Amino acid sequence: MVQGQQSGPSRTAEAGQSHAEPATQASPLVPAPSGSESISATREESENVVEAFWFAVGTPRQIVDERTGLPLFMFHPGDWELGLEDRGTEFLVQDKRTGRIGVLRDLSNIERVGEDSGE
C-alpha cells in the first residue's frame, strides 16, 4: 500500500464526510396514496365474476369460433373440459390440449363439476 493512502471503509469513516443513508434504510419510490384515493381488494356489486369450471359432454360437440361460427375443434364424451365463462346460452371454452379458445353453443346433456358430481 502507498504511504498516506487508506483503502476500504475506514477511509470514509475517518474522513467523516459521508452523509449518505445506510444501505439498510429504504426510501419509498412511490408516494403513499392521498386520503381521497380508495384502495380495496373487494369488488363492486355490479362487477361480473368469471370463474373457470370443469364440465363433460354427453355426446361429441363442435366448438366454434366466436366471431365467424367456423368449427375449431371437438369435445368428446369421457373427458373433463375447461369452461372459461358460462354465458347462460353458451360456454366460452378452452381446449386443454392445444390452448385454443372457442364457443360451445349446444349446452344439452352437460355435466359440470360441483353440480351433479357431489363436489
Q: In this predicted structure, what is the pLDDT of residue 12?
A: 47
Residues contacting 4, CB < 8 A, separation 6+:
none
> What CA dihedral angle connects 26, 27, 31 and 33, to 10 degrees?
40
Kindly list the distances between the CA atom of residue 46 and the CA atoms of 38, 49, 81, 87, in Å, as whole numbers in the listed order: 17, 9, 29, 16
Choice between 16 and 96, residue whose per-residue pLDDT is larger: 96
Q: In this predicted structure, what is the pLDDT of residue 53?
A: 96
Q: In this predicted structure, what is the pLDDT of residue 114?
A: 79
Q: In this predicted structure, what is the pLDDT of residue 51?
A: 87
How much is the pTM? 0.56
The SS3 of residue 55 is strand
Q: In this predicted structure, what is the pLDDT of residue 47?
A: 57
Band (pLDDT 50/70/90 cuts) for residue 90 is very high
Q: In this predicted structure, what is the pLDDT of residue 54?
A: 96
**Among 106, 104, 82, CA closest to 94:** 82
Choice between 80 and 24, residue whose per-residue pLDDT is larger: 80
> What is the per-residue pLDDT across 9-67, written as a single tens digit (0 to 9) for each?
545 444 555 555 555 555 545 555 555 655 556 556 665 667 899 999 999 999 999 99
CB atoms within 10 A of CB 91: 25
Rounded CA-CA distance 25/21 in Å is 7
